[in-house]
């Protein structure tokens, strides 16, 4: 029986390896139900983190968790990533933060469970962190109901306008900012 | 003024000793680095101070995960020495091994991604400006899917060590970054593979952030002479075990 291989930080130089064209476009092209989830990733001083990379995993609108291949579809002629073909819902997204610590994801609302699972990697973070962006409050959700109101609020994406949700991630809290709830899985 | 290696090394020793003592006193072993590991200065403001909240929901979406397939990779992606018109500088190596889950089952058909510095220790990244040459014949990015036994294989060149600014005279031991997916999103892993016998291990706060001696050793590949190809390449083997729970079902033929 093997023991786990330890985690190490993603470091600062993943930028030419991990991000891919259309990584933040999970929603099939032109789907009118598409929503935008966006926000900032911030550190314990409240400063935006320009070298974080976020991954997203979610159920399809019909509740399916099977996913689909093709998120990183490649051109067999040149080897470059040409992105999703725009039909299948792969359920997977990957978005590096911009120089101002901002990210944006374009997706379809998940079916079944009302949240998008988020995995955070960053320079300075030795082991990735999981959190969840809930697009709607879910009264019966076992995780949300287990949390105090101010902690629970960190997992609720805020509707800004029709189809646009704001979800900031605080890797570390301070006097002003509540630290985002991060998850472990038993 | 930058801090000295002596300061960082003293902190590394202190935290390693504290861990060893805690284990000797009956405390739990840790396979992973603490996110709060001060010798790695960038961690100071980038770790949560509150404990993680444990999810025990068998219906959690994170117990499933993304899938990848033949359209996501090309055959050339696993050979980092053939991505340009010429041969890269450096020592040609192969790195191969198996990806397993915590129960020892192979992780089949999943995506493995790697990235690394060139033989001179320089990344093909605008933010790496240290005075080592770029290699026009080496980018340092690879991908493959694991086979039915969970096996992956890459051909590349051995990366060089490189300086960084954690403290004065800080050097990273040579390493290859690995990114791995399991059958569940909970099994996600990004880590670094090191080369055996590197004299820089003891000075490096990133590697030493894994305070458990046995766990730290699991990040070091093994040189396997039988994997070396005569007059061609040096062979290394590195098996990877993904942590985290996975759904008990296995969808065959994935």
pLDDT in tens, A1-29: 689 999 999 999 999 999 999 999 999 98
Q: Token pair of A71, please? A: 């998120």
Which candidate, B69, B223, B33, places its Cα nearest to that of A70? B69
- Closest-CA residue of chain B to A48: B46
> Within a domain: residue B225?
yes
Q: What is the pLDDT of residues A89-148, one digit of tens each?
A: 999 999 999 999 999 999 999 999 999 999 999 999 999 999 999 999 888 899 999 999
Number of cross-chain residue pairs from A and B with Cβ atoms under 8 Å apart:
252
Cα(A96)–Cα(A104) distance, rounded to whole angstroms? 9
Name the residue in chain B with its Cα closest to that of A179.
B48
Report d(CA A113, CA A133) in Å as an integer. Answer: 11
**Longest CA pairwise span in chain B (Å):** 58
Tell me, what's the pLDDT at B91?
98
Q: Are strands A35-42 and B151-157 parallel, antiparallel or unpaired?
A: unpaired
Where residue B210 sits, what CATH number does that domain have? Answer: 2.60.130.10
pLDDT at A1: 61
As a residue count, chain A comes to 186
> Token pair of B105, please?
């089952």
In a domain, B63, yes or no: no
The per-residue pLDDT for A121 is 98
- Is residue B249 one of the residues assigned to a domain? no
Residue B110's domain comprises: 5-46+69-241
Interface confidence, given as ipTM, is 0.97
* Closest CA in chain B for residue A185: B55
Say how far apart CA B83 and CA B44 lie, in whole Å.
Answer: 38
Rounded to whole angstroms, the Cα distance separating A40 from A49 reads: 8
First to last CA, chain B: 54
Instruction: Compare CB distances from B71 to A67, A69, A179 and report the shortest one's residue.
Output: A69
Assess if residue B169 is contained within a domain. yes
* Window B:186-225, CB contacts with A under 8 Å: 186, 188-192, 206-207, 209-210, 214-216, 218-219
Q: Which of B37, B40, B123, B152 is catalytic?
A: B123
Q: Has residue B82 been placed in a domain? A: yes
DSSP state of B208: H
Fold adopted by A26-50+60-93+107-186: Protocatechuate 3,4-Dioxygenase, subunit A (2.60.130)
Type and span of the H or E element at B205: helix B205-208
Whether B37 and A126 have beta carbons less than 8 Å apart is answered as yes
Take residue B248 and report the two structure tokens written for it: 């008990």
What mean pLDDT do residues A166-181 have? 98
Is residue B60, in this structure, part of any structural domain at all? no
Domain-embedded: residue B203? yes
Q: What is the mean pLDDT of each run of 10 residues along chain B (254 residues)?
A: 94 98 97 98 98 95 97 95 96 98 96 98 90 95 98 98 96 98 98 98 98 98 98 98 74 40
Flag whether B96 is in a domain.
Answer: yes
Using an 8 Å Cβ cutoff, are A61 and A110 in contact? yes
Say how many domains are in chain B: 1
Q: What is the greatest pairwise CA distance in chain A?
A: 54
For the question of whether the overall pTM of this predicted structure is more than 0.90, the answer is yes
């Amino acid at each position: 029986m093997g023991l786990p291989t330890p985690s190490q930080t993603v470091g600062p130089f993943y930028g030419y390896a991990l991000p891919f064209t259309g990584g933040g476009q999970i929603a099939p092209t032109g789907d009118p139900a598409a929503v935008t989830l966006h926000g900032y990733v911030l550190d314990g001083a409240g400063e935006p983190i320009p070298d974080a990379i976020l991954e997203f995993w979610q159920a399809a609108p019909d509740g399916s968790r099977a996913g689909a291949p093709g998120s990183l579809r490649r051109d067999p002629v040149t080897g470059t990533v040409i992105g999703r073909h725009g039909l299948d819902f792969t359920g997977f997204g990957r978005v590096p933060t911009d120089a101002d610590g901002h990210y944006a994801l374009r997706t379809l609302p998940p079916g079944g469970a009302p949240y998008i699972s988020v995995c955070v990697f960053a320079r300075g973070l030795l082991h990735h962190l999981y959190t969840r962006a809930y697009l709607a409050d879910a009264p019966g959700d076992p995780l949300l109901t287990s949390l105090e109101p101010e902690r629970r609020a960190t997992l609720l994406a805020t509707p800004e306008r029709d189809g646009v949700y704001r979800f900031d991630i605080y890797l570390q809290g301070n006097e002003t900012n509540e630290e985002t709830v991060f998850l472990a899985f038993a | 003024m930058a801090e000295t290696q002596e300061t960082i090394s003293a902190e590394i020793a202190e935290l390693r000793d504290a861990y060893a003592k805690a284990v000797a006193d009956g405390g739990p072993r840790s396979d992973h680095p603490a996110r709060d590991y001060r010798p790695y200065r960038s961690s100071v403001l980038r770790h949560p101070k509150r404990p993680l909240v444990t999810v025990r929901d068998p219906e959690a979406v994170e117990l499933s995960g993304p899938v990848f397939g033949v359209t996501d990779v090309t055959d050339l992606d696993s050979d980092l020495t053939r991505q340009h018109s010429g041969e890269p500088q450096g020592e040609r190596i192969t790195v191969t091994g198996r990806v397993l889950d915590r129960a020892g089952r192979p992780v089949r058909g999943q995506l493995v991604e790697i990235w690394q510095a060139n033989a001179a220790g320089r990344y093909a990244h605008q933010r790496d400006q240290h005075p080592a040459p770029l290699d026009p014949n080496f980018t340092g990015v690879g991908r493959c899917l694991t086979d039915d036994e969970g096996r992956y294989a890459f051909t590349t060149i051995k990366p060089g060590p490189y300086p960084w600014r954690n403290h004065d005279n800080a050097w990273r031991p040579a390493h290859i970054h690995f990114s791995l997916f399991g059958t569940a999103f909970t099994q996600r892993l990004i880590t670094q593979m090191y080369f055996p016998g590197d004299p820089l291990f003891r000075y490096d706060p990133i590697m030493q952030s894994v305070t458990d001696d046995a766990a730290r050793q699991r990040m070091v590949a093994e040189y396997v002479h039988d994997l070396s190809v005569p007059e061609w390449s040096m062979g290394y083997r590195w098996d990877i075990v993904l942590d985290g729970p996975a759904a008990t079902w296995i969808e065959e033929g994935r």
